[in-house]
Amino acid sequence: MATGTFPDNFLFGAATAAHQIEGSNTNSDWWAFEHTASSGCRDSSGDACDSWHRWDEDLALVQSLGLNSYRFSVEWARVEPAPGEFSPVALDHYRRIVQRCHDRGLVPVVTLHHFTLPTWMAERGGFESPEIAARLGAYTERVAGAIGDGIGLACTINEPNIVALMGYLLGVFPPAVRDRKRFEVVSDAMRSSHRAMVEALRAGPGRYPVGLTLSMAEMEAIEGGEAQYAQALEHLEDAYLRAVGGDDFIGVQCYTRLRFGPDGPVDIPEGARRTLMGYEFRPEVVEHTVRRAAAVCGLPVVVTETGISADDDAERIEFIDTALRGVAACIADGIDVRGFYYWTLLDNFEWVLGYSQPFGIVACDRATFERMPKPSATHLGRIARSRELGSPVGAEPRQ
């Protein structure tokens, strides 16, 4: 296959997460966190993009752009509002989304856990609870029973390493803890929960690839930072990449490069190009992490998330092109890469940073919820339709 082209069955999609787009996810730990003054959250998720009601409009958009897949998450807090009490209405809601994806020619990629917990689970200790793997397993069993026959690809836990890091070491996500021991306990719980969820999915109806999605970065040590770098690589990436043996794929999610000095991560070099998130602009991270994930765990790779927060959509187009060039180079080298999901479909609720970070290929009016595709949406759709990268960056008119 020529460099710059993608196989016929390659998945091109956009990714979303329930709490970030559905709205009114009031029974979750994040909702409570957003409404706690000390949390530092900029906004309440509120009505988000109202995708709980407008989900078919979202699917229609994805289809009209020319993408062939849609990644979304099922919200545990809605499916199991109280321990052991499952909501047929919520399960049916997600069943209709899965079915409609098929009607629209979209492969549904379903994430079972994307950052949020039901409040009852958080109150019982969340990922520190000895019950967590069994609870996630039981929830997954119900979801698999309801929608498994329609799932195209399943992701168990979205970025378990970030949930552990941000929630238990850096203290910026719920439950806002900073404690290395607790971080390690939670990291182990992530891996056992993943295994329980894989088993539950495989025991249910339907046969589809199952995997974990991991946040990865292009990590580097600067002088004296070798120990910090090695530690970060081990705890945030390798411990997970070693634990996914037997899965069907690894989901790679990546946004930037991180450099480590003797005291931990160091600032981006003066003058380096930054995104609105303050990250280094580094679409090359995709090629780096895909190669690394494939080499370390040996599984087929799906880029389940990458993207950029930018006001200038031309930067998004540039990011997508460079990222996809990296994927195409990996494929040309024989690495089994099966899909690419841009984060994200809609400008949405970016956790602690609220509505300040436009990652979407589609803008969403905060008052009317009108969806307004950006040029990058058409651009990604064109690549998806043709399965070919166009002329190199810069050759296309910027808008």
- Does 17 help bind ligand BGC (rule: CB under 6 A)? yes
Please check whether residue 287 is in contact with residue 326, taking contact to mean a CB–CB distance below 8 angstroms: yes
- Does 305 help bind ligand BGC (rule: CB under 6 A)? yes
Output the six-digit token pair for 32. Answer: 């409570």
Please check whether residue 286 is in contact with residue 305, taking contact to mean a CB–CB distance below 8 angstroms: no
Which has the closest alpha carbon to 12: 329, 328, 235, 365? 328
Q: What is the DSSP letter of 148?
A: G
Q: How many CB atoms lie within 10 A of CB 129?
A: 16
Output the six-digit token pair for 169. Answer: 């070491």
Which has the closest alpha carbon to 278: 288, 262, 267? 267
**Residues whose CB falls within 8 Å of the CB of residue 176, separated by 6 or more in sequence, listed in order:** 33, 39, 167
Query: What 3 state SS string does 45-71 have?
Result: CCCCCCHHHHHHHHHHHHHHHCCCEEE
Stretch that binds ligand BGC, among 158-166, 204-212, 244-252, 312-320 (CB under 6 A): 158-166
For residue 384, give the H/E element and its range: helix 375-386
Which of 100, 318, 350, 361 lies at the binding interface for ligand BGC (CB under 6 A)? 350
Stretch that binds ligand BGC, among 155-163, 197-205, 235-243, 311-319 (CB under 6 A): 155-163
Cβ closest to ligand BGC, residue 17 vs residue 268: 17
Binding positions for ligand BGC, 281-300, rule CB under 6 A: none
Cβ closest to ligand BGC, residue 150 vs residue 251: 251
Min separation Cβ 249 and ligand BGC, Å: 17
Which of 215, 256, 275, 322 lies at the binding interface for ligand BGC (CB under 6 A)? 215
Tell me how long the chain is.
Answer: 399
Binding positions for ligand BGC, 172-201, rule CB under 6 A: none
State the pairing for strand pair 362-364/371-373: antiparallel
- Does 22 help bind ligand BGC (rule: CB under 6 A)? no
Cβ closest to ligand BGC, residue 20 vs residue 63: 20
75 is annotated as an active-site residue: no
Cβ closest to ligand BGC, residue 355 vs residue 369: 355
Cβ closest to ligand BGC, residue 159 vs residue 287: 159
Min separation Cβ 239 and ligand BGC, Å: 18
From 22, 75, 80, 159, the catalytic residue: 159
Residues engaged in binding ligand BGC (CB under 6 A): 17, 20, 158-159, 162, 215, 253, 305, 343, 350, 359
Active-site residues, by number, are 159
